[in-house]
């Protein structure tokens, strides 16, 4: 397997296919680079070089007990881009991966990047605070940690069966293969990484990071996202960006990169090439 070693000794697994302008994909919690398969194959066929890594503690990367925070996530992504000497890259992040992309660009600069895409992403901040009254109560995320700590296997069966892909909506047929693949990816990762990662994706405030970005950013979000609620994420993110474009998808769920891949991919391609 292709891996790099982070500055604190963690092996980070990655896929690197093709040639041409690089597109770098950052996945959501608690999944892996495999969640990007529909995008990797599509953009590879369009002549791009596609790269996706497993976040530390996730997938095939080291199951370390430490470093499960946005600073380490961003530094690992910076190490990968430096190792592969990527330039003019498009960075695409889904959910937690959107936060990783934003923090990487703000923390390490935009010199290697051309554009960015945030899909169902967690910025500006998910948890309810005085400055973010529309956020979700901290108790919601505490409850997620309890489920990870006590019965992760069942939790990872229930989440994709219902709100993640919108399979709990009337008239939406569940796809057993997607549910099982979600469970497979989740159970590949480490429980400690997933437990700590809930704090990382819910409590990190990306407001200042978003304000720093100058490159073009496409913000894609479904208005029926039951995991990262639309009203407290995408519109606020787009307003904070200096060069942001908001694309809202009526009725699309959080996992729309898989269930509505054809639409999402086409819009990303138009943004990259436009």
Q: What is the CATH number of the domain that holds 147?
A: 3.40.50.1820
Does the bond joining 124 to the residue before it have cis omega, within 30 degrees of 0?
yes
Distance CA 201, CA 99 (A): 7
Q: How many Å apart are CA 246 and CA 157, to the nearest integer?
A: 32
Beta bridge partners of 3: 13
Of 26, 61, 95, 202, which residue is the catalytic one?
A: 95
C-alpha dihedral, 186 to 190 to 196 to 198, nearest 10°:
0
Domain limits for position 248: 3-273
Instruction: Name the residue with tokens 């590949």.
Output: 188
Question: 117 near 213, Cβ under 8 Å?
Answer: no
DSSP label at residue 35? G
Question: Which listed residue (34, 54, 196, 225) is catalytic?
Answer: 225
- Neighbouring residues of 40: CB distance < 8 A, sequence distance ≥ 6: 15, 17, 25, 50, 52
Give the C-alpha separation, 39 to 4, whole Å: 23
The total of structural domains in the chain comes to: 1
Active site residue 254: yes
- What's the confidence (pLDDT) of residue 195? 98
Among candidate residues 58, 68, 72, 254, the one labeled active-site is 254
**pLDDT 10s digits, 174-233:** 999 999 999 999 999 999 999 999 999 999 999 999 999 999 999 999 999 999 999 999
Task: Count the Cβ atoms, other than its own, within 10 Å of residue 222.
Answer: 25
- Strand ordering across the sheet containing 22-26: 3-5, 11-17, 49-53, 22-26, 89-94, 113-119, 217-222, 244-249
Q: What is the pLDDT of residue 145?
A: 98
pTM: predicted TM-score of the whole model, two decimal places: 0.98
> Is the pLDDT confidence value at 1 over 90?
no
Tell me the C-alpha distance between 104 and 101, whole Å.
Answer: 5
**Residue partners of 71: CB distance under 8 A and separation at least 6:** 103, 107
Q: Is 95 a catalytic residue?
A: yes
1-5, 21-25, 94-98: the lowest-pLDDT one: 1-5
């Amino acid at each position: 397997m292709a891996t790099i070693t982070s500055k604190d000794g963690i092996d980070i697994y990655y896929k690197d296919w093709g040639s041409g302008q690089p597109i770098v994909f950052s996945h959501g919690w608690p999944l892996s680079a495999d969640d990007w398969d529909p995008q990797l194959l599509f953009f590879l066929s369009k002549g791009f070089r596609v790269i996706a890594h497993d976040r530390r503690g996730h997938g095939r990367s080291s199951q370390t007990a430490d470093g499960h925070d946005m600073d380490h996530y961003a530094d690992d992504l910076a190490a990968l881009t430096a190792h592969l000497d990527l330039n003019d890259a498009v960075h695409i992040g889904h959910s937690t991966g959107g936060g990783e992309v934003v923090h990487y660009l703000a923390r390490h600069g935009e010199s290697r990047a051309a554009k960015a895409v945030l899909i169902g992403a967690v910025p500006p901040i998910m948890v309810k605070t005085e400055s973010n009254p529309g956020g979700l109560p901290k108790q919601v995320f505490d409850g997620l940690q309890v489920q990870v700590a006590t019965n992760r296997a069942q939790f990872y069966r229930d989440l994709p069966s219902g709100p993640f892909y919108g399979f709990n909506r009337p008239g939406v047929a569940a796809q057993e293969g997607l549910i099982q693949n979600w469970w497979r990816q989740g159970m590949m990762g480490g429980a400690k990484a997933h437990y700590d990662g809930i704090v990382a994706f819910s409590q990190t405030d990306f407001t200042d990071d978003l304000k720093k970005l100058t490159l073009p950013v496409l913000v894609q979000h479904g208005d029926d996202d039951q995991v990262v609620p639309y009203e407290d994420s995408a519109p606020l993110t787009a307003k904070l960006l200096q060069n942001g474009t908001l694309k809202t998808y009526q009725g699309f769920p959080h996992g729309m990169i898989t269930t509505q891949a054809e639409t999402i991919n086409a819009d990303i391609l138009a943004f990259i090439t436009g």
